A and B are shown apart, each in its own frame.
Chain A
Amino acid sequence: MSEIASESSPKKRRLGFKIQLEPRLSEPPRWYPFVISLGAIIIALIIGGIILAAVGGDPFRTYAHIGRAAFGSAGVFSDTIVKATPLILVSLAASVAFRMGLWNIGAEGQFFLGAFGASAVVLTPLLPVDTPRWIFIPVMMLAGILAGALWGFIPGLLKARYNVNEIITTLMMNYIAVSWNNFFIFAVWSERGFQMSPVFPKNAWLPRLTDYAASIPLFRGLTTHFGLILALGAAVVVWFVTYRSRWGYEIRLIGDNPRAAKYAGLNIKRNIILVMMFSGALAGLAGMSEITGVVHRLQGAISPGYGFTGIIIAWLAKLNPFAIVLVSVLFGALILAGREIQPSGIPKMIQGIILVSLIASDFLLRYRVRLVRTAEEA
């Protein structure tokens, strides 16, 4: 009885080894996810480079250009930070929702509403022009947060009560938000027929580094603004809430296993609404920060797709608030540099390739790939 199977079934050619996929039984070492992610990004950049070459660009120059355009000097780095600031907040927003298994694709719309809310304080006007800055800013923050929270509340309510897919609803709310803002920009608050509102009074501007150039010459021209502090503060708050608060525990539990959460007596519907509001609030704050820190007026083009980028960043950073900060800076660099690159779709394409690579690479975290020698025993 020592026949080997392959001899009597010649139609099956055995290689002598095969690729075997085994689900991982234990956690991979801590450095593993980083290495895999890094590898995926590198591969993505290579693929992006190939496509760049195909369209007639020079990948090396392009990437070098990106590097210089983002980190080359203090001024440029400051600009990168400015681009990263709203990203941090929007990514935090996405991560908070993800944590509970919700897809908030509507950060874009909540961002716009936040900008609207902050602008309304100035333009209605809710507060007189000469209100001191230390009143103006917090009120605008509050307005931005509330407006964003409202915009998150609606899809949250629909999901909680009717189980309506939040991906589509938040997306639709994005488009509605743009139209809403446009109405005010074009019609109500339009500055002499232009497609933007009047400039805000100086008291309604977030302080910037360059404001202190008189005392610290180093800061001249650096547009990094107070929004960064807000963003970093928000990261700390999110971390605390998620890992150290009772509510955060509930969110994590529901996100991991809603059935277990119900069994433990948690009210899932209420939490869906609250989380969507929290998420919207963060995105709204991002909008406020961008309006009062950078543009100083309400206008249409305030977001190069921050909301969608935020989702990638959150996913990439595996929802860790501090990793989010780092990755946001990276993407801020991409966006900044991308404005100078032709064709203009390149950054978006690169983002897409990176995301695809990362998703594909995630597979390696869950499975081990092994080449197994198949030994035939009689």
Chain B
Amino acid sequence: MSHQPFETWLLSDEQLDEEKRKDLEAHLNKCESCRELSTALENVRETFTDDITPAPQPGFVYRWHQRLSVARQQRQQRKMWLLTLGLFGVASLILLSIFLLNMNSINWFYEFGQVFANFGRFANRINQFVNIIKSLTNQFPILIPIMIILGVGSISAQIVLIVTWISSMVRLYRPSHEGVTVR
């Protein structure tokens, strides 16, 4: 027995006109397979059309605000890291391109020696500076407190600068809570 088009009518859930409906009823009376299908579909529909609605626990909106706050923090952190990586990448590219452009003209042994030579010259300058300070303090002992004040002042200024820089970096990377309203 052919089940078409009756099976298609049942499964497509379309609105049938009077003639088709009668044809279907007549077919269902004599075809057990299609009758089973029709009954099963009717039962499924009944099961699915219920009067209960799953609902979230109370406080869903409050939890959403909290989650939004966390999501915002994560997005900001991601942005900052991407910015840092981007800047690092650009800087690396610039350095690499400079290096590649000058690669042929670099004399490696000479450049390596120059680094040591420069370090020696720098140490020598420092030594000369210390000697000048020593001779000055020997001749003018009154300069000693002034130099101590200047030395401590400059070191303190450097420490303040470093602390300011670190704190500004920490603030920059720390996610802000601006605009978050949590009820």
The answer to whether A and B assemble together is no
List residues of chain B with CB under 8 Å of any chain A CB. Answer: none
